[in-house]
Amino acid sequence: MNRMETSKPIGGVWVFGDYRNYFQNRVTLQLIAKGKELAGKLDTKITVILLGEQIHQFAMEYVAHGADVVMAAEHPELKEYDVETYATVLSRWVEAFKPEILLAGATSFGREFFPRLAKRLRTGLSADCVELEMDPESCLLIQTTPAFGGDLLADVVTPNHRPQMATVHPGVFRELPHNAEAVGRIVYPDVGPLPDPRVRVVRSRRQRTRNVNVEDAPVVIAGGRGLGSKRSFDMLFELAELLEGEVGATRPAILAGWAEEERLLGQTGKTVKAKLVISIGTSGALQYTTGIQGAETVIAINRDPHAPIFRIADLGLIGDATVLVPMLLEALRKRL
Amino acid sequence: MYEPVPIKAMDIVVCIKQVPDVPSIRMDRQRMTIIREGVESIINPLDCVALEAAFGLRDKEGGRVVVITMGPPQSEQALREGLALGADQAILLSDPLFAGADTLATSHVLARAISKIDPLPDLILCGMHTIDSDTGHVGPQIAEELDLPQVCGVNEIHMDGDSLVVKRLSDGFLETARVTMPALLTVTHALCIVRDLPLASLERAFSKSEIMRWGLEDLGLNADEVGLMGSANRVSRLHPPTPKRQGELVDGDPQALLDRLLRKLEALSILDEQDGNE
Amino acid sequence: MNLEPTMKQSVIRRSVRKFAEDKLAPVTAEMERTGKFPWEIARQMSRLQYFGLEIPSEYGGAGLDSVSCAMVIEEISRVNAAVGLCLSVHNSVSAYPIYRFGNECHKERFLYPLASGEKIGTFCLTEPNAGSDASSLETTGVRDGDEFVLNGNKIFVTNGGISGINLVFAVTPGAGNSKRFNVFVAESERDGLEKGPPEELMGMRGNPICPISFHDCRVPLDNLLGEEGEGLKIALSTLSGGRLGIAAQSLGIAQASLDTSLKYAKERHQFGRPICEFGAIQAFLADMGTRVEAARLLVYRASFLKDQCVDHVKESAMAKLFASELAVDAARMGLQIHGGYGYTKAYPIERFYRDAKVCEIYEGTSEIQRMIISRSLMRQ
Angle at C128 between CA C124 and CA C134, to 5 degrees: 60
Q: What percent of chain B has pLDDT over 90?
A: 70
Q: Binning pLDDT at 50, 70 and 90, where does residue C48 land? A: very high
**C-alpha distances in angstroms, A322 versus A250, A289, A305, A325, C169?**
17, 22, 16, 6, 58
Decide: helix, strand or coil at residue C204: coil
The predicted structure's pLDDT at residue A23 = 77
For B57: left if phi > 0, alpha if psi spans -120 to 50, otherwise beta; the answer is alpha
Range in A27-41, A109-123, B263-277 the model is least confident about:
B263-277
CA A280: distance to chain centroid?
Answer: 24
- On the question of pLDDT at A4 being above 60, the answer is no
Given this structure, which CATH class describes domain A13-187?
alpha beta
Distance CA C346, CA C338 (A): 11
Assess whether pLDDT exceeds 70 at residue A316: yes
CB-CB contact of A118 with A157 (8 Å): no
Q: Where are the domains of chain A?
A: 13-187, 219-335
Tens digits of residue pLDDT in B232-254: 999 998 888 776 676 788 888 88
Give the minimum alpha-carbon distance from A277 to chain B in angstroms, rounded to a whole number.
11
Cis peptide before B182 (omega within 30 of 0): yes
Percentage of chain A exceeding pLDDT 90: 69
Residues 6+ apart with CB under 8 A from A60: none
DSSP B115: H
- Write the pLDDT tens digit of every residue in C317-359: 999 999 999 999 999 999 999 999 999 998 999 999 999 999 9
Give chain B positions within 8 Å (CB) of A301: 257
Written as one letter, the residue type at C252 is: G
3-state DSSP call for residue B195?
A: coil
SS3 of chain A: helix, strand, coil, percent, to 5:
30, 25, 40
- Cα torsion C95, C98, C101, C104 to 10°: value is -140
Q: Do B197 and C15 touch (CB under 8 A)?
A: yes
Instruction: Assign A304 to helix, strand or coil.
Output: coil
Does residue C83 contact residue C38 with C-beta atoms inside 8 Å?
yes
pLDDT attached to residue A304 = 84
All domains in chain C, ordered by first residue: 7-120 (1.10.540.10), 122-229 (2.40.110.10), 233-379 (1.20.140.10)
E-only strand ranges, C260-329: 269-270, 273-274
Q: What is the mean pLDDT of residues C46-64?
A: 96
**Is the per-residue pLDDT at B7 higher than 80?**
no
Domain with residues B10-225, CATH architecture: 3-Layer(aba) Sandwich (3.40)
Band of the pLDDT at A208, cuts 50, 70, 90? confident
Please state the domain extents for chain B: 10-225, 248-278
Residue B276 has pLDDT above 70, yes or no: no
For residue B199, give the nearest of C18, C23, C53 by CB distance: C53
Q: Outline where C134-183 has alpha helix (H).
A: none
**Domain range A219-335, its CATH number among 3.40.50.1220, 3.40.50.720, 3.40.50.1000, 1.10.10.10:** 3.40.50.1220
Q: In the predicted model, is pLDDT for residue A65 greater than 70? A: yes
Per residue in B124-166, pLDDT (tens digit) is 999 999 988 889 999 999 999 999 999 999 999 999 888 999 9
Of A21, A286, A314, the CB nearest to B241: A286
Q: Smallest Cα–Cα separation from B159: which of B40, B5, B10?
A: B10
Q: What is the dihedral of CA A79, A83, A89, A91, to 10 degrees?
A: 160
The backbone torsions φ and ψ at residue C182, rounded to the nearest 5 degrees and listed phi first, read -140, 155
- Judged against a pLDDT cut of 60, whether residue A3 lies above it is answered with no
Chain C residue with minimum CA distance to B78: C11
Q: Tell me the average pLDDT of chain B.
A: 90
Question: For residue B196, what is the nearest residue in chain C, using CA coordinates?
Answer: C19
Interface of B with A in 188-247 (CB under 8 A): 224, 231-241, 243-247
A117 contacts: CB under 8 Å, gap ≥ 6: A86, A87, A90, A91, A165
- Of residues A256 and B120, the one with the higher pLDDT is B120
Residues of chain C neighbouring B196 (CB-CB closer than 8 A): 15, 18-19, 23, 44, 47-48
pLDDT tens, position by position, B88-138: 999 999 999 999 999 999 999 999 999 999 889 999 999 999 988 889 999
Query: In the beta sheet, which residues pair with residue B180?
Result: B163
In chain B, whose CA is at the least distance from the CA of A206?
B173
- Helix spans in C35-92 (H): 39-47, 66-79, 81-89
Confidence category of residue B277, pLDDT binned at 50, 70, 90 = very low
* H-run or E-run covering B62: none
Report pLDDT digits (tens) over A281-298: 998 887 788 888 888 899
**C356 Cα distance to chain centroid:** 12
Per residue, what are the HEC states of A216-281?
A: CCCEEEEECHHHCCHHHHHHHHHHHHHCCCEEEECHHHHHCCCCCHHHEECCCCECCCCCEEEEEC
* Residue C80 CB partners (closer than 8 Å, separation 6+): C20, C24, C25, C28, C31, C206
- pLDDT attached to residue A273: 80
pLDDT at position C146 over 80: yes
Say yes or no: A23 contacts chain B, CB-CB below 8 A.
no
- In the predicted structure, residue B6 carries a pLDDT above the cut 60: no
Work out the pLDDT band at B45, boundaries 50, 70, 90.
Answer: very high
Active site residues of C: 363
User: Would you call A68 helix, strand, or coil by DSSP?
Assistant: coil
Give the C-alpha separation, C180 to C171, whole Å.
Answer: 6
Nearest by CB to residue B200, choosing from C6, C14, C62, is: C62
**What average pLDDT does the segment C279-295 reach?**
98
Provide mean pLDDT across the span B204-217: 94
- Using DSSP's 3-state secondary structure scheme, residue A111 falls into helix
Mention every residue, 6+ apart, whose C-beta is less than 8 A from residue A189. Answer: A71, A73, A93, A96, A97
The CB-based long-range contact list for A258-265 (8 Å cut-off, 24+ gap) reads: A258/A223, A258/A227, A258/A230, A258/A233, A258/A234, A259/A223, A259/A233, A260/A210, A260/A212, A262/A209, A262/A210, A262/A212, A262/A214, A263/A212, A263/A214, A264/A291, A265/A214, A265/A220, A265/A222, A265/A291, A265/A292
**In the predicted model, is pLDDT for residue A8 greater than 50?**
no
Least confident of A294-308, C189-203, C287-301, C314-328: A294-308
- List chains adjacent to chain B, taking adjacency as at least 3 C-beta pairs closer than 8 Å: A, C
pLDDT(C156) > 90: yes
In the predicted model, what is the mean pLDDT of residues C137-159?
96
